[in-house]
Structure 1
Amino acid sequence: MATFQYRALAASGAAVSGQIEAASHADAVGSLRKAGMRPIEIAEPKAGAARTKRGGKTPARLITNVFAELGVLLQAGLPLDRALAIAVENVEQPPLRARLADVLAAVREGKPLSAALSAHSDLFPGLAPAMTEAGEANGKLGEALARLAQMLEQADEQRRQIGSAMTYPIALGVIALGVILLMLLFVVPQFEGLFASAPPGKLPAASLFVMGASQFVRANGLIILAVLAGAGFAARTALARPGGAAWLDRTILDVPQIGVLVRNIETVRFARSLGALIEGGVPLPNALALARRTVTNGHMSAAIGEVTDIVRQGGGLAAPLAERRVLPTMALSFIRTGEETSQLGPMLARLSTVLDRDVKVRLERVIAVATPVIVVSLGVLVAAMVASIMSAILGFNDLAVAQ
């Protein structure tokens, strides 16, 4: 049995919170519903969770929870201002609570929720006002906010998966570099005095190379750091220019395996956002313009922008996307089918689910290949350094025996 923290809506319409013991998340939901409550949020408590400091960055998870809570409360029949008031009361982070209080005040003054959210564009994602406005127009604001929360949660989950997948290889790479520098800066110099007395031509070539590398790094360490810093600054400056960034984004898509992975990740973001916007009632041209913002690859974003202009002029979606060859073949098939059956929104949602699974598999493959390559490379480099030193020492022993 596990203990879950919950927030729920009682039969009277009041928001309640507490803890419940259950074997699983599903059992906790069932127990609350049997008790006549409608769950808003259920989570297993995490030990040692740190609170966000006042004025700090608001985690995306908190914003997602706010939209999910509003969706549940509105679908339960509560007025918008009452639902917002409950959401404000339940937020613990002071900066977010203050922003939501401003949104509540604007709504009570008669402004639409979409306009109130737009006034805080630095906090809420750009898709939020559009989906909210569509929900206000068709009278399904609760469903629109619930769909928005689901989309944001899926996007956040994808970011966490990518970050977790890349953490281990990056850590191994840093450790490998640290071990090599440790050998060159501290271990190899311990044998310099011994090797200095060796007769000319008696040291192995590998030993001479390692000793020379150690001396070069120690003598020119600051220069090496300055060159690396300058190269990094120059690369950053070049990539900050439109031409440089476009070249990098286009080149990444052409890299074997990595390009396919990046293309699929971007397509998942685009399809998920576009599908949610269309199902929320946002017109296709506007939905395309908003979904394009979720695409971080400049080359793909530019192509989608061109397609958006064509759609605004009355053109289709699948054909111009196929001409620009920025989306996977599978994505084009799903989009074409969605257009032909007038089910573009559901097909895009299905596409994002299918490609998201493919991204997970490809990430696992990348990690499965990168991890042993880094470990073996580190082992070979360290072993080569040790072998070069040991061969020189054994050479000294042979000379001593011969004498």
Structure 2
Amino acid sequence: MPKFRVQYKQKGKIQTKIYNVKTQSELENKLQSQHLFVLKITPQSSLKDKLFAFQTPKTKEILSAFYELKLGLKAHLPLNLLLENLQTHTKNPFLSAQFAKALFALNSGKPLSLSFKEAGFSDFICSMLEIGQKADMLGQAIEFILIELKNAHKNRKLLTKILLYPLLVSFIMVIVFLGITLFVLPQFEVLFANINAPLPLVSKSLLFMRTLVLDYGYFSLLSLCGIAFFTYRFYKTSQKFRCFMDKLWLKIPYLGAVLHYYQLSQ
């Protein structure tokens, strides 16, 4: 449930209170019934919202929401009412919070494109909304948004199918590698020890990997998860690092070509 920090004046003193309400209109009705002199309303992020920040909406969910927005505009419904309905009926908590932020910014007097930008929608969606409003062709702009979302959804499904086979092969290779290092190599180690012969370099390196997995398995797994998390966060925040990683991905055999043609199809 959205949270709002309300600053109001009562009995000559400025006070602050947190309200938990479903929509901003419900908050305004509550404040009006309490006869408060409101100075400022600020949306607050709850712990639940921060947890759902990692649950990004699927393209299909965004597509469904914009279909509803398109139908509402055809019915000549007010934008703030449409966004309020989208906030209420959207099942994805992250997407619902995005529409709530866009509604709050719109009610604060900001343009629709800027409201969606502050809510975290893509640059393409915000640009099309800005063009649509300036040209008084918002319905046609949303049509272009729907076309782009449809193509992105179709291409993403195709990309998943293409990458499924190499991912499956890689997973099987990891399982086979772990099976050899954990169960097969110890038998050879005993055999070489019985004949007093030194182990080959390849066998020594594989045994070192076995020791690493057995003795430091959890630590290695946590380290890899930590590196992956910080790499992802850094990728989202740093433009230079994002460009570096994108160039690196494109140089990987097979995967680079797939990603290259995927972007071209977009």
Q: TM-score, structure 1 length as denominator?
A: 0.40
> Runs of 5+ in structure 1 lacking a partner?
1-52, 201-207, 270-403
Q: 1:222 to 1:160 in 2, by over 3 A?
A: same
Residue 76 of structure 2 aligns to a residue in which SS? coil
1:163 paired residue number: 160
| 1:266-323, Cα deviation, whole Å (9 max, x unpaired) | 2222xxxxxxxxxxxxxxxxxxxxxxxxxxxxxxxxxxxxxxxxxxxxxxxxxxxxxx
2:135 maps to which of 113, 134, 138: 138
Q: Say whether the 8 Å CA contact 1:252–1:258 is kept in structure 2.
A: yes
Q: Is the 8 A contact 1:103 1:117 kept in 2?
A: yes
Compute the displacement of 1:109 (Å). 4.5
SS of 1:157's partner is helix
- 1:67 CA displacement: 2.0
Cα 1:156–1:191, aligned 2, differ >3 Å: closer, same or farther? same
How far 1:248 moved relative to its partner?
7.7
How far apart in 2 are the matches of 1:125 and 1:188? Answer: 51
Alignment match of 1:60 (pick from 48, 58, 61): 58
2: CA distance, partners of 1:109 / 1:193: 75
* Among candidates 125, 128, 137, match of residue 128 of structure 1: 125
CA contact (8 A) 1:184 1:214 kept: no
- 1:268 and 2:257 aligned: no
Q: Is the 8 A contact 2:74 2:139 kept in 1?
A: yes
Residues in 1 aligned to 2:202 and 2:121: alpha-carbon distance in whole angstroms:
52
2:184 aligned with 1:187, yes or no?
yes
Instruction: Check the 8 A contact 2:185/2:203 in 1, yes or no.
Output: yes
Question: What SS class does the counterpart of residue 168 from structure 2 fall into?
Answer: helix
1:26 aligns with none
Q: State how far apart, in whole Å, the 2-side matches of 1:263 and 1:135 are.
A: 30
Query: Partners in 1 of 2:190 and 2:196 — Cα distance?
Result: 13
Q: Which has the larger radius of gyration?
A: 1
Q: For 1:217-228, what aligned pairs fall within 5 Å after superposition?
A: 217-219=206-208, 221-222=211-212
Q: Distance in 2 between matches of 1:241 and 1:84?
A: 31
The RMSD of aligned alpha carbons is 4.2
Between the aligned residues of both structures, percent identity stands at 28
Larger RCO of the pair (alpha carbons < 8 Å, separation 6+): 1
Which structure 2 residue ranges, 5 or more long, are not aligned?
A: 1-47
The answer to whether the 8 Å contact 2:250/2:257 transfers is no
Structure 1 residue identity aligned to 2:150: E
Residues 179, 80 of structure 1: alpha-carbon distance in 2 compared, 3 angstrom cutoff:
same
Contact persistence 2:249–2:255 (CA under 8 A): no
The number of aligned residues is: 198
User: SS of 1:69's equivalent?
Assistant: helix
Q: Which TM-score applies when normalising by structure 2?
A: 0.56
The 1:142–1:177 alpha-carbon spacing in structure 2 relative to 1, beyond 3 Å, is same
